[in-house]
Amino acid sequence: MDILSYLKQHGIYSDSLVDWVQHHSKTKTYPKGQVLFAEGDSPQRVYFIESGLLRMFYEKDGKEITHGFFAEDSVLMSVESIFYQQSSAYGCDTLEPTTVTSFNFRDFTELSNKLPEVSHLEKLILYGVIKKLADTNYFLKFHSAKERYERMIAEYPNILLRAPLGHVASYLGITQQTLSVIRGQIA
């Protein structure tokens, strides 16, 4: 879904907002394997995923650890960069051809001071990002590997067809062997 359809679906739609989106956002399609931003970058943009799949990851001791997946109709941003002017602790890459519409967060904040519907959208985006982080943190810390797997499948029903199993296992905090055992138990 494109960003204007998404806004309309959420009841956040006005001529002023449509005009702003058309003049301040950039829509781009990235090939599979493209880095959107790297660990250490300071991206100031908010990304709306129109199609495709992104992975947020960090590197620890030479290994990439998958922090999260972002599919269609989700929003991605570097909280550290936007709110704390720090470089991002994470990198983000595409796991399949992906189309995103992005805009500068500061420009968006300025607009939210002028248009009430944009202020509502800003809150919707921020609350969504915070909720996703909190939910993921809770499930990864307090649930069994099987429960984490089931939650992931509920959230991303076709993730096993779209992402390498190594990334999926990393996201769940388990080995690929454990992932295979869990998949076998559930099948």
Which residue is listed with tokens 């454990």? 178
Instruction: Judge residue 103's burial from the number of C-beta atoms within 10 Å of its C-beta, 0-12 exposed, 13-18 middle, 19 or more buried.
Output: buried
How many Cα atoms are found within 13 Å in the side-chain-facing hemisphere of 16? 9
Examine the pLDDT at 175 and tell me if it is beyond 80. yes
98-104 and 26-30 as β-strands: parallel, antiparallel, unpaired? antiparallel
Contact 93, 39 (CB under 8 A): no
Whole-model pTM: value is 0.88
User: For position 108, what pLDDT does the model report?
Assistant: 85
Q: Which pLDDT tens digit goes with each residue over 67-117?
A: 999 999 999 999 889 889 999 999 999 999 999 999 999 998 888 888 877
Q: Which fold has domain 3-142?
A: Jelly Rolls (2.60.120)
Examine the pLDDT at 127 and tell me if it is beyond 80. yes
pLDDT tier at 52, thresholds 50, 70, 90:
very high
User: For position 94, what pLDDT does the model report?
Assistant: 98
pLDDT tier at 119, thresholds 50, 70, 90:
confident
Residue 19 CA to residue 21 CA, distance in Å, equals 6
Report H helices in the chain: 3-9, 15-24, 79-84, 105-112, 116-142, 145-155, 159-162, 165-172, 176-186
User: For position 115, what pLDDT does the model report?
Assistant: 80
User: For position 20, what pLDDT does the model report?
Assistant: 87
Chain centroid to Cα 134, Å, comes to 14
User: For position 55, what pLDDT does the model report?
Assistant: 97
Q: Is 45 helix (H, G, I), strand (E, B) or coil?
A: strand
